[in-house]
Amino acid sequence: MPRVFVVGSLNIDSVVEVERHPRPGETLMGGDVATFFGGKGANQAVAAAAAGAQVLFIGRVGDDAGGHDYIARLNARGIDASGVTVTQGSTTGHAMIALDAQAENTIIVSPGANARLTTADLGPLESVEPGDVLLAPLESDLEVIAEAARMAHSRGARVVLNLAPFAEIPAEVLALADPVVVNEHEAQQLERSGVSPESLLVTLGSAGSRWGSIEVAAARVDHVVDTTGAGDSYCGTLAAGLAAGLDARAAMQAASDAAGRAVEWVGAQPD
C-alpha cells in the first residue's frame, strides 16, 4: 500500500450554526453545539486513509477523554497512531466553529497539546523511504514542520506542504515540497511574502484547482452543508494519490471529487 506520513494537529471541534456571523462586539443566538473530531492534520490523515493509503500519524493529544478517544478513533480508521503522544498536563486541542446559513465558517483554534509537538517527536520519520509521502499542514510548530520536511526529503520521500493556516516558511523548506498547496487567500499571502514555490497547487473553490499548467474542475455538488473539511479532504486524497503513483491530473481529480463529497456532511471528518 502507498504510505503517507502526516505531521499535524488533532482537535476536538465544537460547531454551532448561526444565521450569519457576528460583527465585532455583537452577540448572536445560535443553534445547539455539535462536537466532532477535527484538526487539519487528523482530517487530512483520515482522508488519505479513506483514499487507500497506509497512514502513520505524528502529533500530540492531551491526557484527557478527548485525547484518548481520538487515538482510538484513528486506530479504528486503520491509521497507525503509534506516533501520537499523550501529553501530561495538557488538554487536547480544541476548535470553535461558527457555521452560517450559507455554509461558510469562521474558526478559532486553541492548540493545547498540539503546541507541545517538538522535533523529538519525529522519530517515526526515520522509517520513511523513497515513494512515501510526507503531508503537513501548518497547525503545528513551524520548526517541527520544517525539520519533518527536511527529514522526509533527505530519505527520498515526496513532501506535500499545505500552508494552512498561512504562515511564512523559509524558501529553502518550500523548495522541498512538490507541491505546496494553498487556497486563493493563502496564495495571495504567499505572493505578498515574496516567495514563489516552484511547485504550487492552488485550490479555487467552485472554480476547481490549478497546479502549474494543469487545471481540474471542481466536483459538482448539489447541496452544500458545511465547507469545513473540503480543503483537508482535498489534501489528504491528493497525498494518497501521489503516493499511489497517480500523475498530477489524476491525483487532483481524485482530490477534487473527495472535496466535493466532504461539503455534504457537517464537520471536518465523516462519521
Active site residues: 232
The three state secondary structure string of 199-214 is: CEEEECHHHCEEECCE
What angle do helix axes 230-243 and 248-262 make, rounded to 10 degrees?
Answer: 150
In terms of C-beta density within 10 A (0-12 exposed, 13-18 middle, 19 or more buried), how is residue 95 classed?
Answer: buried
The residues that bridge with 146 in the sheet, in sequence order, are none
Give one DSSP letter per residue of 60-74, joined into a string: EEESSHHHHHHHHHH
In the sheet that holds 93-99, the strands lie side by side as: 33-38, 11-17, 93-99, 105-110
**What span, in angstroms and rounded, lies between the C-alpha atoms of 206 and 218?**
6
